[in-house]
Amino acid sequence: MKVIYLDNNATTRVSDEVKEVMLPYICDLYGNPSSMHSFGGQVHRHIEVAREQVASLINAEPEEIIFTSCGTESNNTAIMSALDSQPEKKRIVTSRVEHPAILGFCKAMYRKGYKISFVPVDKQGRLNIEELKASITDDTAIVSIMYANNESGVVFPLAEIADIVKPRGVLMHSDAVQAAGKLPLDVKKLPVDMMSLSGHKMHAPKGIGVLYIKRGTRFSPYIIGGHQESGKRAGTENVAAIVGFGKAAELTREHVLHKETKVEELRNRLEEGLLKTCPGAKVNGDTEHRLPNTLNISFEYVEGEAILLRMNEYNICASSGSACSSGSLEPSHVLRAMGVPFTSIHGSIRFSLSRYSTDDDIDFVLEIIPGIIKELRTLSPYVKES
Ligand code: PLP
């Protein structure tokens, strides 16, 4: 049975074009890019091409791009660098709805004696800008605010946020892992000092990330060893993945900038169809400022896990808001921060599309889900539908 993959905020399929450019670096072109001989040297040149391709995606300079092992490493590196390079400053300002790659790291820093301010969001998942302003103190080393939320899809006004942070002389980082490939990204218009990207959210492989570091930003490396990545990130490069990321960046640029995708139209059709056919369904998050591919929807009084399991029987892949990535049944910290009632959190499903999603995928989901919800509602101890 065909897989209907609507879980692209979790990970994406590697594009065929990306796979093609990667293959030679897995077997044939295995030279070490740091070697003096030309067998290694040619590999080095391809890393630099990939750096240019990624830089061009976000309108940065190639020397402002470093390759890391993943989005998590990029996020950890940005914060650690800010703390290390400004030892007199002890505070991190972030939001309550960041990915664990930021929240978990901040909590670890808290245990080491740093102070953390978690800026709240409102019921629509929008950042409280007044609280953000009030959180920035003289001892703030860095403000780290995501561009787009992985669960709700809500997009934060990053340019406005940077305009608040930068005049205070504070470093600004953004986790743009979910924004890349879905929104145009231009670091000349978004005046952040550092920005994280991840390959596997934009049709490159897993295990490759990028950290943009604006020229002139004080930087302290997190992974220390050899001289790779201009001394900013040690470790022999994951060449195949880097080359793949470069290609994915080039393809993404074409799709996002030239709007060569109907992902938003498909997402809207899915949303309208589910709202029409499933009584009591509610969309979570600000629908005006939202990633074009994401729909977070609650089916009250139905367990998200039960919906996913039933969907799984039809090979439909999505995520639920009641199980976090660790597999525990903790309700989503994002939906909790938004004040979504527990009955809705437990029945929430995140559908996330990609440029490979098709009309047939959406038709199939709209055919299957209403029946699943109806059936599960009849089993719910809380609800009796007429
Ligand atoms: N930041 C956000 C917003 C994410 O959604 C994710 C992955 O889900 C990450 C960071 C972590 O990226 P990676 O899986 O490359 O470590």
pLDDT tens, residue by residue, 198-246: 999 999 999 999 999 999 999 999 999 999 999 999 999 999 999 999 9
- For the CA of 178, the closest atom of ligand 1 is 3
Confidence of residue 260 (pLDDT cuts 50, 70, 90): low
The mean pLDDT value for 122-144 works out to 98
Containing 295, the helix (H) or strand (E) segment is: strand 294-299
pLDDT of the residue at 323: 54
Q: Is 182 in the pocket of ligand 1 (CB under 6 A)?
A: no
CB 14 within 8 A of CB 203: yes
Q: Is 209 in the pocket of ligand 1 (CB under 6 A)?
A: yes
The mean pLDDT value for 5-18 works out to 97
DSSP label of 338: T
Q: Give the chain's count of helices (H) and strands (E).
A: 12, 13
Q: Is 198 in the pocket of ligand 1 (CB under 6 A)?
A: yes
Q: Residue 376 C-alpha to ligand 1 middle, in angstroms?
A: 32
Q: Is 146 in the pocket of ligand 1 (CB under 6 A)?
A: yes
Q: Residue 26 C-alpha to ligand 1 middle, in angstroms?
A: 25
Which of 330 and 351 is assigned the larger pLDDT? 351
pLDDT of the residue at 261: 74
pLDDT of the residue at 376: 94
Q: Residue 316 C-alpha to ligand 1 middle, in angstroms?
A: 22
* Catalytic center residues: 324
Question: Looking at the predicted structure, is the pLDDT value of residue 326 above 70?
Answer: no
pLDDT of the residue at 383: 64
Q: Is 7 in the pocket of ligand 1 (CB under 6 A)?
A: no
Q: Residue 71 C-alpha to ligand 1 middle, in angstroms?
A: 5
Confidence of residue 386 (pLDDT cuts 50, 70, 90): very low
Q: What are the residues whose beta carbons fall under 8 Å from the beta carbon of 112, sequence distance 6 or more?
A: none
How many other C-beta atoms are found inside a 10 Å radius of the C-beta of residue 338?
A: 26
- The sheet with strand 281-283 has its strands ordered as 281-283, 294-299, 348-352, 319-320
The mean pLDDT value for 312-337 works out to 82
Question: Looking at the predicted structure, is the pLDDT value of residue 79 above 90?
Answer: yes
How many other C-beta atoms are found inside a 10 Å radius of the C-beta of residue 117?
A: 18
Angle at 237 between CA 232 and CA 239, to 5 degrees: 140
Best of 177, 200, 326 for a ligand 1 pocket test (most atoms within 8 Å of beta carbon):
177
pLDDT of the residue at 322: 63
Of all protein residues, the one whose alpha carbon is nearest to atom 9 of ligand 1 is 71
Confidence of residue 366 (pLDDT cuts 50, 70, 90): very high
Measured CA to CA, the distance from residue 306 to residue 315 in angstroms comes to 14
Of all protein residues, the one whose alpha carbon is nearest to atom 10 of ligand 1 is 71
CB 71 within 8 A of CB 101: yes
Nearest partner of 247 among 13, 49, 25, judged by Cα: 49
- For the CA of 206, the closest atom of ligand 1 is 15
Of all protein residues, the one whose alpha carbon is nearest to atom 12 of ligand 1 is 71
Question: Looking at the predicted structure, is the pLDDT value of residue 69 above 70?
Answer: yes
Among left, alpha and beta (phi > 0; psi -120 to 50; other), residue 341 is: beta
Question: Looking at the predicted structure, is the pLDDT value of residue 294 above 70?
Answer: yes
- For the CA of 207, the closest atom of ligand 1 is 15
Strand partners, 116: 92
Measured CA to CA, the distance from residue 367 to residue 83 in angstroms comes to 52
Q: What is the mean pLDDT of the chain?
A: 94
Q: Is 348 in the pocket of ligand 1 (CB under 6 A)?
A: no
Which of 379 and 42 is assigned the larger pLDDT? 42
pLDDT of the residue at 324: 44
Measured CA to CA, the distance from residue 126 to residue 122 in angstroms comes to 5
The mean pLDDT value for 70-84 works out to 98
Nearest partner of 355 among 247, 265, 272, judged by Cα: 265
Q: Is 91 in the pocket of ligand 1 (CB under 6 A)?
A: no
